[in-house]
Structure 1
Amino acid sequence: MKKNLLLLFLLVLIPKVHAQDYFPNNETVQNRNQNFTAFTNATIYVTPNQIIKKGTLLIQNGKVISVGTTIAIPKNTIVVNLEGKTIYPSFIDLYTSFGIEKPKSSGPMSRGQLYDTKRAGYYWNENIRSEINAYENFKYDNAKAEEFLKAGFGVVGTHVQDGIARGTGTLVALNNFDGSKRLLSNKITNHFAFTRSALTAQAYPSSLMGMMALVRQMYYDMDWYKKGNSETKDQSLEALIANQNLVQLFTTDDKLNSLRASKIAKEFGLTYLMKGSGNEFERIDEIKNTNSKFIIPINFPEAYDVSDPIQANQMELKDFRFWNQAPSNLKVLADNGVVFALTTDNLKKMDSFKTNLLKAIQYGFDSTKALEALTTIPASILGKSKEIGSLTAGSQANFIITSGDYFDKKTVLHENWVQGSRYVVNDMSTRDIRGNYDLVINNETYKWKISGDVASPKSDITSVDNKKLNSKITIANQWLTTVIKPADSLKTNFTRLSTYLGNTSNLAGKAIVKDGKEVNWSATKTSDFKAEADTKKEEKINPLQPVTYPNVAFGNQEKLTAQTLLFINATIWTNEKEGILENTDVLIKDGKIAAVGKNLSDPTATVIDAKGKHLTSGIIDEHSHIAISKGVNEGGHNSSAEVTIQDVVNSEDPNIYRDLAGGVTISQLLHGSANPIGGRSAIVKWKWGRSPEEMLYKNQPKFIKFALGENVKQSNWANVNPTRFPQTRMGVEQVFTDYFQRAKEYDLAWKTYNTTKKGKAPRVDLELQTIAEIINKERFISCHSYVQSEILMMMNVAEKFNFRVNTFTHILEGYKVADKMKEHGVGASTFSDWWAYKFEVNDAIPFNGPIMHNKGIIVAYNSDDAEMSRRLNQEAAKAVKYGNISEEEAWKFVTLNPAKLLHLDDKVGSIKVGKDADVVLWNTNPLSIYAKAEKTIIEGVVYFDIQRDEEQRKAIAKERNVLIGQLLEEKNKGMITQEPKKAERTEYHCDSLEY
C-alpha cells in the first residue's frame, strides 16, 4: 500500500512541462530532433495585423520556416492539429531585472560622507556605473522564467537596476530547456535613471537636481574624453562611448521626470526610450511633444478601503482620482500617437498582468494596439523585428497557443514555445470531464457535479442526505486528483481520489480514505455538462473623472487662456510716480497692460466693476522653496553651482494655487543653504495648470544661491564625525576665495583656447562655468546671511574679484551694516519680524527692513515658507507698523522692490502701460488683514478667481463623494483593497536635506 501511495504522489507532482502528447519535451530529445513540426488548422497572428484563419505554422530548429494556408508539409513532420486554437507571437518585456541579483545597499547615507570615489580607473562619481554589463551578472532563473512563460512572455530585456548610469542590458529568451541559445544579445540597451546607486557611500548627488546635473556633466566628460583630451583612462566613460549606438533607456517613473529626461536628451542630441510610470495621461500633450517612445507599466492601483470615513478624509483627491483614471492611460497614449511597449514591472504578482491588460481594454484600449505593444513594437524598438515579435519566416519560433482570443477573459493559455522549445501552461489535451455523475466510494453513494473550465474544473459533491462536502479537483498530465473533506470532519479526515483520464465517459480509480485504507471508487456519468446562461451583465467600468490641469484638486477643466479685461472704477496702486489712483480704469489686452485712465472702453473686453476694490501689481516673492521636486538642497559638496532649480519645478504643488489665492504671481525658487555655494535659482510665474517649462520666466536673469552661517558650516547638522569642509565661518570664506580663483583660471583657460585653438581643449566644468559667470557679471548672487561679520566678509570677497553681491536674503543684522551695504550696492530681501528661532538671529529686530530702506537700500520682504508666502500682503503691512513706512512704500516691499532685485522691474512690479498684465484685484486695501485676493491674473490669464474657487470647492466635495462611492462598491464586490494612506507632503526650507 505504501508503494501505491508513493506512486500516486509522484504521478500528481509530475511537472506539466513533461506532458507528452506529440513529443517529449526533453532537452536531449529536442537537441536530436531535426524534424519539422507543423501546427495546422489554427488561427495564426503572424503579426497583430496579419491574421491567418485555418492556417499552418511550420517550424524547424527553433525557427519559423513558413506560415500560411497552403503550406507544403515535408515528410516526417510532426503534425499538431490545433483546430479551434489560436497562435500568437510570444510577448516581449523590455524592462525587467530577470536573472540579476539585487545590489545590496552600502547602508544609510550619513552627512559625514567623503567626496571622492575609492574606485581607481573609473568615473569620479560612483553613481555612474556605465561599465556594468548585465550579461556578466546574469544567472538564469527557471522559477521566475516560468512566471513569465505562464503569462505569455518569451523574451525579456534585463539589466542591473542600480545607479544613475546603469550600464548595458541584455536580451534573454525564456528557453527553459536549452541554455546555449538563451542570450539573444549580450548588449542591447544602455540604461540611465534618476536614482542613486545602493553600492556607493558618496554623498553626491542627494537630490534630483543633482542627479540631472551629474548626467549633464557625464555627457560633457564623455565628449571631452572621446576627443582624446584626457591623460588618464576612465573605464566608465569608455563604456559610455562604446555603447552610444545601443538603445538608450531612461527610467523616469513619473510623467514630470519624463519631461526632465527629454530636456536632457534635447540638450545633447539624444533619443531616449523612456520607462514611464502610468500617469502619462495627466500630461499627455507634453508627453506627446517629447517625441519619445515609452515602456509603460500596467500596475494599476488597488482600490482604497474607505469604509472608515476618518481614514478616507485623510486621503487627497488626486489619489482617489488616479485610482479612477489610471486604467485609461494606455488608451490615451495610443489615441495620441505615442509609441509604447508594455512591461510587467512593479506588478505584485504576474497574474495581475492579464487582468490589468483586460481592464485597460475595457477602458477603451484597442486590443490590436495591445498586441503590438507586446510584440512588434518592442521588437522594432530593439531593431530585432526579423528575429522576434512576429511569426514571419526566419523569425524565432516564439509563440503561444491559446484556446481562443487572448483578450477574452475565458481564454486559456495552453502552451508557450520559445526558440522551438515547448512549455506547457495548461495541457490542451486535457479531457473534458464536466457533467453530472453518480459517485460511489467504498459502496457509499454521492452526487458529483463537475463544472467550471475544462482545464480547471470545479467540484460539487453532496451526500444522499444532501450534505455538501468540500472538494477540490486538480488535473495534471492527464491525472485527476480530488480531495474531499466532509464539512463536519477534522482537518486530517480527507478522502483522496485519483485516476488516469482515459477515453471513456465514466471515471474510476483508487481512493485513500480517512483511515489510510485504499478502496475503489467509480463515477458513472448521468448527464453532460450544460453551461448555464450567463445572466451576469457585462462588468461595469467606473465612469472616468475628467482630467484637469493640473490633475489635482482645484485643477481646471481646460488650460486657461488670456482674456481682454477692463477693470473700471478701481483704486489703482500703480507703484509709479502717479501713486495710488482713485476711481480709475485699467485695460488688459494681449497679456499686457494696454491702458490706465478714466472712462476707458473696449468692445471686446470683459468689464469688471471694481468700485470699492483695489487693483495692484502681483506680489513677487524673492525667496521661496515651494513647488520643488525631490530636494531643495544639493548638499553633498561645499559647492553645487552646477545644479539648477529650473530642472525640478513641480508644477502640481498645491502651494502654487495657495500662493495665487494670496496674490503671488512670481516667485524666485532658491536652492537651500546646505553649502556655501548652492545651486542656480528658478524665477517662475505661477501659471497654474501649465507645464514646468511654461512656468519658467522667459529669458530670466541668471541667479545663484550662496549661503553663510550655521547651516553651511554644519553646526546644526548633529554630525558625530563631520568630514565635509568647511566646519567654521573662516572656512566658509576660504571656500569662496578658492572657488572664485579656480573659476577665474578656468575662464581664462577657455578664453585662451577659444582664441588660439592650440593644445587640448579644457574640460567643460559646469560648476566652474557657473561661478565664472558671476565674475563676468553674467549671474547674480542671492546670499543667505544673518550676522554682520559674515555680511561684511562676503562683500569683501566679491570686491576682491571685482563684482557685487546682488541680494542679501534673510539679512537679519543688515541694520548694523546698512551703510556698508549701501556703499557696496547690494539689495536686501528680509523677513518682516522673525527673530530668535536660532542662535545666529538673536539680534534680529522687526525694524531691520525699514532701517535698511531708510538708508537707501532696495528692501523686499520674502517668505522662505509655504505658509507665509500666501500672506505676504500682511507681511508688507508690518513695515508700516514697525517702521512708520508709508502704505505705498510698504506695498513696494512685496511688489516693485523684489522686481528690482530680480532685474525684472522693466516688465513687472507696477501697473504701467506696456508691462506684463500681472495684477491682483483685492476686495479692500491689500495691507489689511481682512484683504482677500478676488482675482489673480498673470499675462491676462485669470489663474485665481474667488468665485470660481467657491464653485470648485463644491465640485471637489461632490467628486470625492462619487469616488468614495465607487471605492465602497469595489470593496462590496470583493475586490482587493488597500488601506488609505495619509498624504505626506514635504515642505522645504533652507536647511531641508534629502537622503
Structure 2
Amino acid sequence: MFLKKILLAGLVFCSFVMYGQDYFPANDGVKSKNENYTVFTNATIHTSPTETIKNGTLVVQDGKVVRVGKSVSVPANAITVDLSGKHIYPSFIDMYTNFGIKKPKRAGGGGRGSQYDNTREGYYWNDHIRSEVQGIDDFEYSSKDAKAYIEAGFAVVATHQHDGIARGTGALIALNSEGNTANRVLDQNIAQYFSFDKSNTSRQSYPTSKMGAMSLMRQLHHDLDWYEKGNVNTKDLSLEALTRNKSLPQFFEGDDVYDAIRIDGIGDQFGLNYVIVAGGNEYKRIADIKKLNRTFILPLDFPNAYDVEDPYAAAYIDLADMRHWNQAPTNPKQFETNGIPFALTTFKLKSPKEFKGQLMKAIKHGLSKEKALAALTTVPAQLLGKSNEIGSLKSGAWANFMITSGELFEAKTKLYEHWVQGQKTVVKDMNTVDIDGTYTMRMAGTSYTLAVKNSTGGKAGFILKDGDDDIKSEGKYANGWVNLTFPGRGNKFVRLVGQVINDRFTGKAVLPNGDEESVSAARVAAEDDKKGKDKKKDDDKAPVIMSMTYPNIAFGFEQQPNQEDILIKNATVWTNEADGVLENTDVLIKDGKISKVGKNLSAGRARVIDGTGKHVTSGIIDEHSHIAAFAINEAGHNSTAEVRMSDVINPDDSDIYRNLAGGVTSIQLLHGSANPIGGQSAVMKLKWGASIDEMLLEDKKFIKFALGENVKQSNWQSFSRFPQTRMGVEQVFVDYFTRAKEYEAQKNSGKPYRFDEEMETVVDILNEERYISCHSYVQSEINMLMKVADRFNFRINTFTHILEGYKVADKMAAHGVGGSTFSDWWAYKYEVNDAIPYNAAIMHNAGVVVAINSDDGEMSRRLNQEAGKIVKYGGISEEDAWKMVTLNPAKLLHLDDRTGSIKVGKDGDVVVWSDHPLSIKAKAEQTIIEGTVYFDINRDLQLRKDVKAEKSKLIEMMLAEKKKGLKTQPAKSKEKQRLHCDTTETIH
C-alpha cells in the first residue's frame, strides 16, 4: 500500500508539474512542451497481424501513434527516419508474468505440528485465498529484466504475485526504459488471478491436494454469494476484493490438460469466464479442450531432447516422455487448427531470451506466422480490454513497435530498434553492415584467408589463416571499419584496416617496416557456406512427429475403439447366476449389452471369438483401488467430505491398461485414510483411452471413512490434529453427524443458509443417498462405527480391509454391512497383527457379502488369483470365491443391476480367459467393456514391438539433435509411484 500511495502522489504531482510547465515560465527561463514528431518512412508496416502497408509512413508524437498509412504527409517539425527495406511490427504483450514483483517471504515454523487455522484477522478463513493482494504494491521496475523482455520483442507485460490459490490482481506495465513508475503503469488492476498452488506465506495445512484446492475454490464462491447477499456481519477483505474485481479478466493457471478441464468445471458451475494458463500438453486431448470453449494462454517451455548416447540410461526413459519432447512443439498448432483462441507467454521459461527460439520451433511445427503475431499482440490486447492502446499500430495507440531487418519470424531477421511509449531502445545498430563471410587476400607476398563472424551481433569474431595454419590475431569491427593486427612473417606485426563495400574488402595493410600496401579481396563465401547451407536445408525439413494415441502413451489406441456386436462361441461360461457354470456355451453382446446366453447362437454380423477351451466370466470389479489418480489423500482436515476423487482422475495411468490385462473392468477409486471422514469416491469403468466423463459412473455415490492408526496419525509424527486417539475418532463422527442434522434442519426451514459442500455430503450420508466404505481393522472400532450409524439411523455400506471382521461377522450381518478384505495380508503394521487368512470365509459363512479387494496397483491385476486363495482358506466353493471379485463387489457398489454376472440385459463387461479363471495359469485374452474390446492379448504382443520400434526412432532423432549442438537433458528413470491409502502429496 505504501508504494501505491507514492504512485498516486506521484501522478498528482506529475499532473501539477505538467500544468505548470504548459502555462507558466520556469525559474530558469521559458520552457515549452516538446511537440516535435518522429516520422518513419518507406517501411513495410504491419499495423496488425492481418494488415500490412508497403512503403508506409508512421508518425509518432508524445509516445503515441498519430498517423499511419501509405500517403501520409510529413509534419514540418519532424525528425524523419528512412527505413527503406525494413519492417515495422507492433510490439508484443505478455499477459502472464511476475515482472518486478518481489517474491513473498516463506512462512517460518515447522516441526511435527501442522497449522489448521488461518493467521489473519479480517480475511477469509483460509490463508491461501489472497484475493485482496494487489501486485502493484510489490512492484519495483527492473531495468535488467525489462531489457531482456524488450530484446525479445515485448513492450508491455501484465504482472502479478505468483503466490496462493486466489492471488489478487496484477498491473499492466509498459517497459519504457526512459520512463518512471507513473507513466509505465498503464493499469494498476488489470486482471484477477487464480491457481491450484498454496501460498508460501502461510503454513495452513488445508488444502494438501489438488482436489482440496478445487473444493476450496468451490466453497469460496458459495461463501462469496452468501457474503454478497449481506448475510455476514463482519467485513471480510478477501471476499470484498473478489466482489470488487469481478468485472476484471479472470486468469487461472493450470499445470496440464486435466487442470484445464478442472478449471472449466469450476467456471461452468459459477458462471466464470476464466482464461486458462495452459500446461503445455493439451495436444494430448485437444478435442476435449475444444469442447471447453475457453481462451488459453500458452507457455512455450518445450522440453529439450534427452541425452540418449548411453543405451542403458536411454532404456529407462518412458515413451510418454520421449513423445512429449517430440510432440509438445505442436501444441500451439493444435490450438490453431482446432480454432481455440490463445495468446502466447514467456511464462515457465528461464528468461525471455529463450522465447524467440521456442517460438520459431512452434512455427516450424506448424503454427502460422499470422496466428503467432496475433497471439502476441491483438489477442492479449483484446483479452485485457486494451485494444485501443496496445497490440496494434493505430492512431491514438501507444507507440510500441519494433524495427526489423525483414519479416519478423524469419531465422535471419534482426531486431534493430524497439520503441516503447515513443522511447527508443537500440538492440542492434541498423546502420551496421553485415560483413560475415570468408575473404581471400594477399599481403606482403603471403596469401591469407579471413573469416568474419557475428559482425552485426555487437562483437565480431575474426579467424585469420595462412594456408591451414591459424594465426593469432586481434581485431574489431565498428562504424563499418575493420581493424586487424596479426604477426606476419618473421613474427613482426601487420596492421590491416579497411571496409567492406558490395561484398569486397578494400583497405590497406601497414607492414612491419612501415610500408603501406593496398588490399582488395572479394567475399568468396558468406556464413551460410556449404556447411551452413546443409544446415539450412536440414532446418527447413518438416519435423517428423510421432502419431498420437489414446491415451498418448505406450499401448494406447491409434483410434478410439468402437463398440461392436460380439459373439463368443463354445466357451465355459461362469454366469454367477442360478445357472452356475455352463459348458460349451455362447455369449452374444449386442449394443453394449448381453443379448443372449445359450448354445449354437447365430452370429449375424457380430464379431466372432472362438471360446473353445476358454473360460468366459463377467469382468472383475475392484472395490478398493487407488490406480488412475493424481492424488489419494486430502490430509488438511479431519473431515474432507467435500473433496471428490473425480476431480483427480488420471485417465492416462498405465495401471488402467495393466488392470484390463488382469481382467478388471470396474473399480471404486477411493480416497485415502488420512482422516476419519475422507473424500467422495469415483466409481468408474476402465475404458482405456476414453475421457474422464466416459469412464465415470456419476450416479454411484460413495465416500471413504477410516478408523485406526492412520486417522489418529500414529505413524505420521504429527501431534497437533484432533483426533489423536481411537476415542477421538468416534467423537469426530458424532460431531459431524450432529452438525449435519442441524445444517439440514436450517436448510429445510426455509430460512437463508450458507451452502456448505462438506455438510451437504454428510447430510447425504444420513439420508442414505451416499454410501460409506470404511477403512477398518480393529473389532472395537468396527463395532463403534456401526453403533454410531444406528444412533443416527443409517447403515454402513462396506467395511474395507476389515481384517478382524471374523471377530464381528455376526454383528456385521445383523447390521447389513458388507466386507471387502484382503485374501492373506497380515502383520504389516500393529493393528493387523490379529489378521488371519480365513477371514473372508468366516464372514461369508456368517452371511456377510464379501469381496476381495486390492488397495494396490500390482495386486489389482491378479485379483483372480487372490480369489483362488479363498478356496484354499476356508473351503469356499469356486463359484462363491469367484463372486468375491465380480458379483459381490458389484453388490457393494450397487452395480449388480448392471454388471457382476453374465445375464441378459446386463452390461457387456466380460473377460475371455485362456484357462480356469482362478488358476495362476489363466491369462485374460480379451477384456470387453460394454461391447468394446479394451484389451486383446494378440494386439498387446504387437504393441510391444511397436513401442520398441518407436523408441528407437525417437532415440535416433534425439541423437541427431545432440549432434547439431542443441541442448539436451540427462536421461533419467521416472519410477512409477504406487498410490496407497496412506499416500499423501503436498501441493506447492
Q: Where does residue 526 of structure 1 map in the other structure?
A: 521
Q: Where does residue 25 of structure 1 map in the other structure?
A: none
CA contact (8 A) 2:460 2:477 kept: no
Quick one: structure 1 residues 110 and 682, their matched pair in 2 at CA, closer, same or farther if it must change by over 3 Å?
Answer: farther
User: Is 2:812 the partner of 1:810?
Assistant: no
Quick one: structure 1 residues 282 and 484, their matched pair in 2 at CA, closer, same or farther if it must change by over 3 Å?
Answer: farther
Aligned pairs for 1:838-857 (under 5 A) are 838-857=829-848
CA distance in 1, matches of 2:629, 2:748: 35
CA distance in 2, matches of 1:707, 1:146: 56
Q: How far is 1:607 from its partner?
A: 1.1
The residue type equivalent to 1:828 in the other structure is G
CA distance in 1, matches of 2:54, 2:138: 44
Q: Where does residue 462 of structure 2 map in the other structure?
A: 460
Aligned pairs for 1:811-960 (under 5 A) are 811-960=802-951
Range 445-454 or range 882-891, more displaced: 445-454
Q: Where does residue 591 of structure 2 map in the other structure?
A: 590
Quick one: structure 1 residues 684 and 520, their matched pair in 2 at CA, closer, same or farther if it must change by over 3 Å?
Answer: farther
Q: Where does residue 21 of structure 1 map in the other structure?
A: none
Aligned pairs for 1:259-278 (under 5 A) are 259-278=261-280
Q: Where does residue 662 of structure 2 map in the other structure?
A: 662
Q: Where does residue 188 of structure 1 map in the other structure?
A: 190
- One of 965, 978, 982 as aligned partner of 1:991: 982
Aligned pairs for 1:205-284 (under 5 A) are 205-284=207-286
The residue type equivalent to 1:92 in the other structure is I
The residue type equivalent to 1:99 in the other structure is G
CA distance in 1, matches of 2:836, 2:206: 37
Matched residue of 1:41: which SS? strand
Q: Where does residue 352 of structure 1 map in the other structure?
A: 354
Give the TM-score of the pair, scaled to structure 1: 0.91
CA contact (8 A) 1:568 1:607 kept: yes
1:236-285 Cα deviation digits (max 9, x unpaired): 11111111111110100201111111111111111110100221111100
Matched residue of 1:408: which SS? coil
CA contact (8 A) 1:64 1:393 kept: yes
Range 287-296 or range 522-531, more displaced: 522-531
- Identity in percent: 55
Q: How far is 1:411 from its partner?
A: 0.6
The residue type equivalent to 1:889 in the other structure is D
1:16-43 Cα deviation digits (max 9, x unpaired): xxxxxxxxxxxxxx99532111111111
Quick one: structure 1 residues 527 and 607, their matched pair in 2 at CA, closer, same or farther if it must change by over 3 Å?
Answer: closer
CA distance in 2, matches of 1:538, 1:104: 48
Quick one: structure 1 residues 227 and 507, their matched pair in 2 at CA, closer, same or farther if it must change by over 3 Å?
Answer: farther
Q: How far is 1:114 from its partner?
A: 2.3
User: Is 2:732 the partner of 1:735?
Assistant: yes
What's the RMSD between the two structures over aligned residues? Answer: 2.9
CA distance in 2, matches of 1:734, 1:766: 21
The residue type equivalent to 2:731 in the other structure is Q
1:939-992 Cα deviation digits (max 9, x unpaired): 111010101111100100110111111111111222111101211322111111
CA contact (8 A) 2:149 2:353 kept: no
Q: Where does residue 14 of structure 2 map in the other structure?
A: none
Q: How far is 1:693 from its partner?
A: 2.0
Q: How far is 1:878 from its partner?
A: 1.1
Q: How far is 1:61 from its partner?
A: 1.1
CA distance in 1, matches of 2:747, 2:895: 31
Matched residue of 2:115: which SS? coil
Q: Where does residue 314 of structure 1 map in the other structure?
A: 316
Q: Where does residue 413 of structure 2 map in the other structure?
A: 411
Q: Where does residue 80 of structure 1 map in the other structure?
A: 81
Aligned pairs for 1:579-618 (under 5 A) are 579-618=580-619
CA distance in 2, matches of 1:421, 1:324: 41
Report how many aligned residue pairs link the two structures. Answer: 946
Aligned pairs for 1:95-110 (under 5 A) are 95-106=96-107
Q: Where does residue 641 of structure 1 map in the other structure?
A: 641
Quick one: structure 1 residues 602 and 646, their matched pair in 2 at CA, closer, same or farther if it must change by over 3 Å?
Answer: same
CA distance in 2, matches of 1:143, 1:439: 45
Matched residue of 1:635: which SS? coil
The residue type equivalent to 2:545 in the other structure is L
CA contact (8 A) 2:494 2:509 kept: no
CA distance in 2, matches of 1:31, 1:147: 35
CA distance in 1, matches of 2:318, 2:553: 9
Q: How far is 1:349 from its partner?
A: 3.6
Give the TM-score of the pair, scaled to structure 2: 0.91
Q: Where does residue 28 of structure 2 map in the other structure?
A: none
CA contact (8 A) 1:109 1:203 kept: no
- One of 724, 739, 745 as aligned partner of 2:742: 745
The residue type equivalent to 1:299 in the other structure is D
CA distance in 1, matches of 2:476, 2:915: 78
Q: How far is 1:482 from its partner?
A: 6.8
CA contact (8 A) 2:58 2:68 kept: yes
The residue type equivalent to 2:736 in the other structure is Y
- One of 794, 799, 802 as aligned partner of 2:790: 799
Q: How far is 1:717 from its partner?
A: 1.1
CA distance in 2, matches of 1:253, 1:495: 61
CA distance in 2, matches of 1:372, 1:618: 51
Range 651-660 or range 422-431, more displaced: 422-431
Quick one: structure 1 residues 425 and 495, their matched pair in 2 at CA, closer, same or farther if it must change by over 3 Å?
Answer: farther
Q: Where does residue 333 of structure 1 map in the other structure?
A: 335
The residue type equivalent to 2:694 in the other structure is E
Quick one: structure 1 residues 38 and 670, their matched pair in 2 at CA, closer, same or farther if it must change by over 3 Å?
Answer: same
Aligned pairs for 1:573-722 (under 5 A) are 573-629=574-630, 631-700=631-700, 702-719=701-718, 722=719
Q: Unpaired segments of 5 or more residues in structure 2?
A: 1-30
Q: How far is 1:604 from its partner?
A: 1.7
1:348-375 Cα deviation digits (max 9, x unpaired): 3433211121122222211111111111
CA contact (8 A) 1:166 1:190 kept: yes
Q: Where does residue 200 of structure 1 map in the other structure?
A: 202
Quick one: structure 1 residues 624 and 32, their matched pair in 2 at CA, closer, same or farther if it must change by over 3 Å?
Answer: same
Q: Unpaired segments of 5 or more residues in structure 1?
A: 1-29, 514-518
CA distance in 2, matches of 1:487, 1:611: 92
1:643-692 Cα deviation digits (max 9, x unpaired): 01011000011011000000011100111111111111100110110122
CA contact (8 A) 2:148 2:351 kept: no
Q: How far is 1:464 from its partner?
A: 5.9
CA contact (8 A) 1:171 1:187 kept: yes
Q: Where does residue 117 of structure 2 map in the other structure?
A: 116
1:488-534 Cα deviation digits (max 9, x unpaired): 9x9xx9999999999998669999x9xxxxx9999955335763666
User: Is 2:387 the partner of 1:388?
Assistant: no
CA distance in 2, matches of 1:89, 1:925: 71
CA contact (8 A) 1:113 1:724 kept: yes
User: Is 2:972 the partner of 1:972?
Assistant: no
Q: Where does residue 138 of structure 1 map in the other structure?
A: 139
Matched residue of 2:819: which SS? strand
CA contact (8 A) 2:499 2:506 kept: no
CA contact (8 A) 2:574 2:617 kept: yes
The residue type equivalent to 1:62 in the other structure is G
Q: Where does residue 422 of structure 1 map in the other structure?
A: 424
Q: How far is 1:726 from its partner?
A: 0.6
CA distance in 2, matches of 1:880, 1:505: 94
Q: How far is 1:106 from its partner?
A: 2.2
Q: How far is 1:542 from its partner?
A: 3.6
1:190-215 Cα deviation digits (max 9, x unpaired): 11111111111111101111111111
The residue type equivalent to 1:393 in the other structure is S
CA distance in 1, matches of 2:696, 2:261: 14
Q: How far is 1:601 from its partner?
A: 1.4
Quick one: structure 1 residues 486 and 171, their matched pair in 2 at CA, closer, same or farther if it must change by over 3 Å?
Answer: farther
CA distance in 2, matches of 1:855, 1:199: 55
CA distance in 1, matches of 2:659, 2:790: 37
1:385-429 Cα deviation digits (max 9, x unpaired): 111111122211111010001111111110111111111101102
